[in-house]
Chains A and B, each alone.
Chain A
Amino acid sequence: MKTFNYHSAKDVKEASKLASSNSAFLAGGMTTIPSMKLGLASYKDIIDIKRIKKLSGIKVSGKTVTIGATTKHSEVAKSKEVKKAIPSLAALAEGIGDPQVRNRGTIGGSIANNDPAADYPSACIALNATIHTNNRKIDADKFFRGMFETSLKSSEIIEAIEFNIPQKSSYQKLPNPASRYAIVGVYVAKHKTGINVGVTGAKSCVYNDKDLAGALSSNFSSSAIDSVKVSESGMNSDIHASAEYRASMVKAFAKKAVEAC
């Protein structure tokens, strides 16, 4: 690991001011620290945002669940309010990595990082989330731009993620047997306004599968999915799963999700 300057920011303003193109925010550190240790990344400044109280916590209103950026996965998993309002979101958090990761990793870090196999991005898509940053609000479908790429600017800080409470929802994941990230994760959510099928792990970036969503909006049952063709094109292929298998699993896990709704 290369040497760097460590800062512990007292508020969002200070954190944002310290940020540059050669800095990283330190939330759970579950991505940043391993990549620094392995020499895959190095930064001049590490800006710790964990002390900023405002960034952590869970609020539930009639229509939405808002989760502060530095709220840990384990806190979401255990939260009674989340379990009641959007049980599938708490279950998703419970399925991330392992207890050590869940006790440190944060929702803000997860979506800022936008790992193609991360779980939370699918929830943001399926639950029509709004990403609140220190200077704007971003709709989820505009936030995730590509592999490890988001619409965040380098000094921009996620403050909270606001999820719409759906009528029904379920997240079903085929975990990578080694890392437990998603080989394929499918988040099906039925809102008054329509249906979303957030898919992670399958392609280079999370996406809303319009074909599956379309089939489900005319008939919300797993059999409706049978007739949908999920194409292999654009699917990831690696030692853990071929594109063909991933395409098939998108369907299989969408069905599981619908059945579990």
Chain B
Amino acid sequence: MASLVGSRVERKEDKRFLTGKGRYTSDINIANQTYAIFIRSPHARAKIKKVDTSKALKSSGVVDILTGEHIAQDKIGGLIAGWAIRSEDGSEMKCPANPPLAKDSVNFVGDPVAVVFAETLDEARAAAELVKVDYKVLKAVSNLGEAMNSEAIHDGIDKNMCYDWLLGDRQKVKEAFDKADKIIKLDIVNNRLIPNAMEPRACVIDYNTASEEITCYTTSQNPHLSRLIMSAFGGVAPENKLRVVAPDVGGGFGSKINLYNEEIVCSWASKKIERPIKWVAERTESFLTDTHGRDHITHAELAVTNDGKFLGFKNETIANLGAYARVFGTVTPTYLFGPCATGVYIMPAAYSNVKAVYTNTAPVDAYRGAGRPEATYTIERIVDKAAMELGIDPIEIRMKNFPTEFPFKQTLVHQIDSGDYVAGLNKAKEMADYDGFAARKKESESKGKLRGIGVTSYFEACGIAPSPVVMMLGCGVGLWESAEVRFNPTGQVTVYTGSHSHGQSHQTTFAQIAADELGVPIENIDVVHGDTDKGTFGMGTYGSRSLTVGGIAIVNACKKIVNKGKKIAAKMLEASPDEVDFKNGEFIVAKSNKKKTIGEVAFASYLPGVRDEVKSPLPEGEEPGLIESSFFDPANFSFPAGSHICEVEIDPETGHVKLDKYTAVDDFGTIVNPLIVEGQVHGGLAQGIGQALYENAQYDDSGQLITASYMDYTMPRADDLPEFNLGFTCTKATTNPLGVKGCGEAGTIAATPTVMNAVINALGGKEISLPATAEKVWKACKELKKSNAKAA
């Protein structure tokens, strides 16, 4: 049987997703369900004086209305930050309470205050309009740059600062900078983004009054973690009375890592009103209350020699947490950001200083790439600026500073096990026809257009795991992953994983690796995920960790199956276990050339009576059945890397940026399914390009989100994007048996700086802020024309 790892197996998911047969949370209906509508703050910052539900309670069809008072009375806990980050001075981070329903104050537009449950959705909506909330409106803190000098939003949180964190060595950096020929300086605003999963958040709660068990169907990237938080911190129910199911989920991009107010409130309320509850977000609620991404203000400096060697790097960043610190809110701008800010380079000295602040805006958390796009944007923009100021080709300056020996100890945290950055950049250079750029630029110029080329080399730390490491860095849980592999007596296999697929195609990829390990046809393998009642436990999917952590747990569980199978086969084949080889689904004894298929062995394991010539196939002391589980905790993160090159053509009359060519060369180690990986890269690129050219979440001074619909928030569309030219290099990861590295976020991480480097290159080095909208580019073109005219 040929190996399936590496082949373009068509997705098992396709039939259901492409024919509209997926089963999402909002497709689930429970008999006798009520409908929930949340009453949300229309103000960015206010004290709640009074919530009057009397009129609404009398409205037709209303079952109950609950408020922050009720939550407090029942001692239901709030939402939490998953990572404890310490400030440079050793003090602990400061986090405000974040009750599921606000009782005393609201802190962003959309902060929920009360909830109506009614017999129909229309009745719930009508009643919600009758709930009167009396607010004392306060001045909102909506501007990130001014947050530290504004009035404190939360009691006891001075300067609105959660922490003032440092990674690296200020003294060493000072020494490096003293030796430099030149210091390159760059100021960046990393624009705020709204994840925009295709499926809005939703939950359906089914409370069983007899067993007292709550089943919560929800749009989550990590149902087990949601259950843990809801039970341990929310106090909604003990874990054994709480089942969390995340069925098909239509995209998350990090925004569905968090357990949200609505799930806690509805789970708690379902028990209170003894009725099932259904809540589905409207798109406006998604814009207002899904966690947002990015939103940094950064000042960075790079110390260089005249011949382009990097001596040191520093970055001072203010990161927006929004109104509250959520699960990955505090780690995204620190350990997921700081270490990667020195990029793929040998950087003798570096530090990252990050001040995370609260503002009256939606909470900011992990969004595809989480910290690493911000880091890569910073370093790759400043490296390009250095190249320009030193008059060195952007590829040459990168090559000059690449490490060539692996493992490579990166400046701030990571020990990178494998990579070949030179090979990646060379391949990208060739595929992009970098040398032909000058001719293409001339041709564009002859049509009155500007053309620019942009290069990015990135690495990222993903496959977020090693529990000892992440817990040392402040993570509240271990980030291992678990799997269970079950052989049925009749030979099919069910793989249970703690990872969760919300677009990643695990049912295919994971089946491929199990098929290879077990020698069972892929059709006979099913992958089950997303249900705390099915499978052991799991930490979920984010940080490109599913294959490198969850996938390896499957491999290890399969290996345990094969080991047990060998012992059984040995008995069946009258040999000793070490005489039995396993290949292509068969246990073979070489000396006698006798064999048993793994299916026969599985069957025998469940029917351990007298069979064939053997009394019992089970060796002494061996238990019946063929089911194994494994928890995998890798030795390190995984470190994908690559180089991307793109070309843009700009119409100076309108400022329109046409993305003309995009080449991405990535090293994801072993690739299990190129078809799926290419899809992941395409989607990632689209989101990175979105940040560079289109997407921008904006709040006005009063804290109103002014880009709260698709009329104003620009998503990239298919016709904005060129045909992507993808290539791969491969250095295997040494920290897992498959040699795989994460691939889910790379496109997003690399695309934003690649596009911006190209735009700025076209503008002759003129800095321009994210996103490069037509008007900004048009203005830059005008100024460029003026300064060119002056020079001439």
Contacts and interface: CB of A to CB of B under 8 A. Distances in A.
Interface in B655-705: 656, 694, 698
A174 B654 contact: yes
A154 to B, nearest CB: 27
Contact of B775 (A245, A253, A255): A245
B712 A239 contact: yes
Contacts of B654: 174, 249, 252-253
A255 B653 CA distance: 10
Nearest to A1: B122
B82 to A, nearest CB: 33
8 contacts: A38-B284, A177-B694, A177-B773, A177-B774, A178-B694, A178-B712, A179-B712, A239-B712
A61 B649 CA distance: 43
Contact of A178 (B653, B656, B713, B779): B713
Q: Is the interface of A mostly helix, strand, loop or mixed?
A: loop
Given A177-B714, A178-B713, A242-B775, 7 more contacts: A38-B284, A177-B774, A178-B711, A239-B707, A240-B712, A240-B775, A255-B653
Given A178-B710, A252-B653, A239 B698 contact: yes
Contacts of A178: 694, 710-715
Contacts of A8: none
A176 B714 CA distance: 9
B694 to A, nearest CB: 6
Contacts of B778: 245, 248
A58 interface: no
Size band of the interface chain B makes with A: 20 to 34
B30 interface: no
Q: Is the interface of B mostly helix, strand, loop or mixed?
A: loop
Size band of the interface chain A makes with B: 10 to 19
Interface string B141-172: 00000000000000000000000000000000
B706 interface: yes
Contacts of A242: 775
A241 B712 contact: no
A239 B775 CA distance: 10
Contacts of A241: 775
Nearest to B694: A177
B711 A239 contact: no
Contacts of A176: 711
Interface in A212-261: 239-242, 245, 248-249, 252-253, 255
Contacts of A179: 710-712
Interface string A165-189: 0000000001011110000000000
Best-buried of A1, A240, A255 by chain B (most CB within 10 Å): A240
A227 to B, nearest CB: 16
Nearest to B716: A177
Contacts, number: 38
A256 to B, nearest CB: 8
The 4 closest A-B CB pairs, nearest first, are A178-B714, A177-B714, A179-B711, A245-B775
B363 to A, nearest CB: 23
A245 B706 CA distance: 20
Interface string B115-155: 00000001000000000000000000000000000000000
Contacts of A240: 712, 773, 775
A81 to B, nearest CB: 27
B722 to A, nearest CB: 17
A25 B1 CA distance: 65
A177 B655 CA distance: 13
A127 B682 CA distance: 43
Contacts of A1: 122
A245 B655 CA distance: 10
Given A177-B694, A245-B775, A239 B714 contact: no
Best-buried of A176, A178, A253, A255 by chain B (most CB within 10 Å): A178
Contacts of A252: 653-654
Contacts of A255: 653
Contacts of A177: 694, 714, 773-774
Contacts of A248: 778
Interface in B704-745: 706-707, 710-715
A174 B122 CA distance: 39
A176 B779 CA distance: 17
Contacts of A174: 654, 656, 774
A239 B709 CA distance: 13
Contacts of A239: 698, 706-707, 712
Best-buried of A239, A241, A255 by chain B (most CB within 10 Å): A239
A223 to B, nearest CB: 14
A129 B710 CA distance: 32
A245 B711 CA distance: 19
Nearest to A184: B654
Contacts of B773: 177, 240
A174 B777 CA distance: 14
A176 B712 CA distance: 9
B494 to A, nearest CB: 40
A1 B122 CA distance: 8
A63 to B, nearest CB: 35
Contacts of A253: 654
Interface in A1-22: 1
Contacts of B779: 245
A177 B715 CA distance: 8
Nearest to B700: A239
A174 B773 CA distance: 13
Contacts of B711: 176, 178-179
A240 B709 CA distance: 13
Contacts of B775: 240-242, 245
Nearest to B693: A177
Contacts of B698: 239
Best-buried of B706, B710, B712, B775 by chain A (most CB within 10 Å): B775
A179 B717 CA distance: 11
B81 to A, nearest CB: 32
A245 B656 CA distance: 12
B642 to A, nearest CB: 28
Contacts of B707: 239
Contacts of A38: 284
A249 B778 CA distance: 10
A123 B592 CA distance: 87
A81 B749 CA distance: 49
B408 to A, nearest CB: 41
A248 B654 CA distance: 8
Contacts of B774: 174, 177
Interface string B227-269: 0000000000000000000000000000000000000000000
